Amino acid sequence: MDASPCVLLLVPAGALGGIDLLSFTTTDRFKGIKELPPGWHFVFTSSTNSLSVRHGAWFRVRGSSRSSPSSPPELFVKKWDPEREELVPETDQAELMRWRANLGAIWRDGLTPYRQTASKDADDEGDKEEDWRRLTDAVDERLLDRVLGAATEDHWSLTSASSAARDMDVIPGLSKEQSQWQPEKELALLPVDLKRTWGVDVVGRERTEAAKDRSWALGDLVERVCGGREEELLGAVEEVVGAAVDV
């Protein structure tokens, strides 16, 4: 067993599982994915492999800069909670220690390599890894905290049913809680308003031009919501697209 990072995905056999741009159906022996490259990853699952709500979580592998070669591998444990019907992080320290102690027993047959090494698929797997790296190069903790809420145990969760408040269906006569079969996380996405792409005091010809050229609206969004950080705007797009590709 080497010291490469791994994530344990403790879900029922026959469930849909996946990480980044890879997806698969779990088996009885499956316990997770090993040899994770540094960077951001998105792991997801569903209680079955049919069309059902998918639950996922972002987490970050920090790589060798965080630990010495003699340190134990970074370990992330995500498990399916049948009562809450969602993917949650393992927070019990005794369980985390038990799984770390048992890594050697499951390393070969229970953990799937992040990058499959079959020669016929090697180029394709390498392309997927590079595609994912480029797709998430502007994602960071600040962005995920803003969109998904503060993390628990390096775990930013969402589901395929999560949406922004403005996109949620409202049933007349029912409260928000009553209209939802299962409460879902509200996403704090960028508040883009294409109906108003000009400043408060803009009138006449300037307003007409601003309605056609939305550069001002984009700049205002970066300053007002992203604190002037253009990379956060890019990261917000990457976070949504990256999760949408999976869930």
Contact 47, 55 (CB under 8 A): no
Q: Where are the domains of the chain?
A: 1-189, 190-246
Long-range contacts of 161-165 (CB under 8 A, 24+ apart): 161/53, 162/186, 162/187, 163/187, 164/188, 164/189
Would you list the DSSP string of 220-231? HHHHHHSTT-HH
**15-19-22 Cα angle (round to 5):** 85
Task: State pLDDT tens for residues 2-39.
Answer: 668 999 999 989 988 999 988 899 999 999 999 999 99
Q: Which two tokens stand for residue 145?
A: 């905290």
At residue 70, the pLDDT reads 63
Quote the pTM value: 0.76
**Positive/negative CA dihedral, 125, 127, 129, 132:** negative
> Tokens in use for 93?
């320290």
**CATH class given for the domain over 1-189:** mainly beta
Q: Give tens-digit pLDDT for 41-55.
A: 999 998 776 667 888
